[in-house]
Amino acid sequence: MNKRKLKALILMVGAIFMAFLMVNVTSQASTSRDQGVDWSKYNGNGGTFGYNTDKFVFSQAGGFYGGTNIPQTTYNSQVTSAKKAGKRVHTYLWDGIGGNMTNAKAMMAYYLPRVKTPKGSIVALDYEDGAYNSVTANTNAIIAQMAIIKDAGYTPVLYSGKAYLNAHVNVAAIVKAYGNCLWLAEYPDYLVRTKPNYNYFPSMDGVAIFQFTSMYKAGGLDGNVDLTGITKSGYTTASKKRAQANVNKAQVAKKATFKVVKYSQRGVFYPNRTLAVRYTDSDKVRQVATYYNGNRLIYNAVIIEHDYVWARYTRSNGLYGFIKLGVTNGQAFGKRAVY
């Protein structure tokens, strides 16, 4: 074969290879880099749709603002609207808890029962304001929330800006615990943009979703691109199975924290201050009554959960109630009769 023919053959093979490569890259981009929008109450009851090619929607269920859980009344109708449009629907929450662990857990207890998107779907924490000076406290609070989200059967994601996270959170610890779980925002400008400009991509480990504009359409709309396929969570058989496995594991772990000590132990409890009473039923834990100074409670067993001692009693509906007697290494919270 002469050199001219050999050169022509090499060019032809190279062209075929490049064509195949471009088709493959385009195919991957079309399947793994889906785009979608996110909504808050400002997008109305039905939400503001972007383009027919969009695959997913995030709707805000509410958040923790100034020490209070404030739900958004548009959440339920937005979820319904997005489902009717055939979008994969996910949830996000304004996470204004700073580094307060008590508020972090209380926020999850308030909102997770109100989530209307499927098990396995994303519940994202919008953490972009109110951080404490303690990076450790902020990080621990976020990780605790993400653990609760996962145990409830949802996919935890953390939303913010790169600079804010680097200033206030140990991002490496969160990514180590939850892998590609970050949803980061970075805009090149405020012009209408229908596609991401990766020259402005907020490069860091763990990024799963890139919010590339707040002007996806004229008038304002957040545009996002899914870099890993995470927005398919809750909408595939595998992700649904993982979600249920997480719920089952969490329930088993929660039941395992209870052990009965002196099961036949009985007595009368006289609180010397106001005490809240709770009950436990599989994965549900909630307050059911309040006892005041001077009340009496007949209990029929003592339960130890971690370092706390609880007296168990039978409620009128046949379910058990539990009242905290004290800690295993400290003083009791009230007076008990001798039995």
Per-residue model confidence as pLDDT tens digits over 238-256: 999 999 999 999 887 766 6
Q: pTM here?
A: 0.71
Contact residues for 210 (Cβ-Cβ < 8 A; gap 6+): 183, 184, 186, 196, 201, 202, 224, 225, 227
Which position has the higher pLDDT, 238 or 320?
238
The answer to whether the beta carbons of residues 277 and 322 sit under 8 Å apart is: yes
Q: How far apart are CA 158 and CA 230, in angstroms?
A: 13
CA distance between the termini of the chain: 104
Among residues 182, 164, 163, 161, the alpha carbon closest in space to that of 172 is found at 182
Query: In the prediction, which pLDDT does 255 show?
Result: 65
Q: How far apart are CA 311 and CA 298, in angstroms?
A: 9
Pairing type for strands 56-65 and 88-95 reads parallel
Q: What is the pLDDT of residues 105-139, one digit of tens each?
A: 999 999 999 999 999 999 999 999 999 999 999 99
pLDDT band at 228 (very low <50, low <70, confident <90, very high): very high
Three-state DSSP class for residue 216: coil
Q: What is the pLDDT of residues 162-183, one digit of tens each?
A: 999 999 999 999 999 999 999 9
For the beta carbon of residue 62, count every other beta carbon within 10 angstroms.
22
Which position has the higher pLDDT, 21 or 167?
167
Residue 224, strand partner residues: 36, 211
pLDDT band at 259 (very low <50, low <70, confident <90, very high): low
The answer to whether the beta carbons of residues 49 and 85 sit under 8 Å apart is: yes
Range 75-102 average pLDDT: 98
Please report which residue ranges of the chain form alpha helices under DSSP H.
3-32, 75-84, 101-111, 135-151, 162-168, 171-178, 237-256
Which position has the higher pLDDT, 108 or 302?
108
* Mean pLDDT lowest among 13-17, 64-68, 172-176, 268-272: 13-17
Report percent pLDDT > 90 for the chain: 64
The answer to whether residue 283 scores a pLDDT higher than 60 is no
Q: What is the pLDDT of residues 211-221, one digit of tens each?
A: 999 999 999 99
The answer to whether the beta carbons of residues 91 and 41 sit under 8 Å apart is: no
